[in-house]
Amino acid sequence: MPRFRSRLSRLAPDAHSDRTLLRPTSRAGVQRLRVAMGTWVTIEAAAPTESLAILGIEAGYRAIADVESRMHPHREGSDLARINSAAPRTCVPISESTWRVLQLALAMHALSDGTFDPCLPSHRGRLFDLRLSPAELKSRSALCRAPLALDLGGIAKGYAIDVAIEALQAAGCVSGVVNAGGDLRLYGRSESVLLRRADGTCEPLTLADAALAVTDLNVGAPQRPAEHRGYYRRCGPASPRSRYAAVVAMTAAVADALTKCVLLADAQCSERALRAFDARRIG
């Protein structure tokens, strides 16, 4: 998998792979670093016992792996691969997680007047050609009115962070941090990070129970995997309105998607999308 440099630097010492951090407190803190979603993913958790924190972290990585397997655009058996290969107007069963991400993508698509569109131009279909099963139905499915080439690289990594956070909480961890290649979410604690700006300078930023996502298209920025290219040239101007965006939101999926709206949509659309999710652009 491609290796990415994080756009966020922790003010605490750097993480090392599979290291347990025992702090002078009644809680045990554990930290792990592994490759997932095409980047390095760090998960930290604090729990009443070390074993409970480790169980939470393992559950977090499993949740991330599940998102990766279901939302890869080409991997055999993934929800996206089955949607992309289905004949038009064919109902395709999908997982709850894929349904949720596609629902959020459709909301971003509407708020940005179609600028946020994770459909590659290799197929004529656009995101508005996708129909999802109603929320009240327990079985989830998708139907395309035209051939689609869906690529959720602009939103799936943020969602993977969110489900990892949910796994930590379900395991009984009292606080946690998930950092995936520059997208970050934490709960139960505040954290100081150094946010590297577009000009290379760093700015201290304190987060508490929030998510931060950064997208940087400038020279020298980390390169995206080849399959994650569905949200840049689909419509609008030939080049992005901006080349750098950092957004703070309540969830990482929302923050991740909103950076693309800030980069690509006009000012009115991007501000409307930020307000709709009670998010803010940094700088």
Question: For the chain, what is the radius of gyration of the CA atoms?
Answer: 19
Query: What is the average per-residue pLDDT within 114-132?
Result: 90
User: Within a domain: residue 84?
Assistant: yes
For residue 89, name the pLDDT band (cuts at 50, 70, 90): very high
Find out whether 170 and 55 touch, Cβ atoms under 8 Å.
no
Number of folded domains that form the chain = 1
User: Within a domain: residue 190?
Assistant: no
pLDDT tens track for 13-54: 343 344 444 444 568 899 999 999 888 999 999 999 999 999
Beta strands in the chain (DSSP E): 8-10, 19-21, 28-36, 39-47, 91-93, 130-132, 141-144, 175-180, 183-187, 190-196, 202-208, 211-216, 244-249, 280-281
| Lookup: tokens for 244 | 């750098």
User: Within a domain: residue 128?
Assistant: yes
Choice among 3-12, 51-60, 164-173, 225-234 with the minimum mean pLDDT: 3-12
Find out whether 153 and 231 touch, Cβ atoms under 8 Å.
yes
Q: How many helices (H) and strands (E) does the chain have?
A: 6, 14
Three-state DSSP state, 200: coil
Parent domain of 80:
76-144
Find out whether 154 and 228 touch, Cβ atoms under 8 Å.
yes
User: Within a domain: residue 3?
Assistant: no
For residue 3, name the pLDDT band (cuts at 50, 70, 90): very low
User: Within a domain: residue 14?
Assistant: no
* Bridge partners, residue 215, by sequence: 245
Place of tokens 């074993």: 51
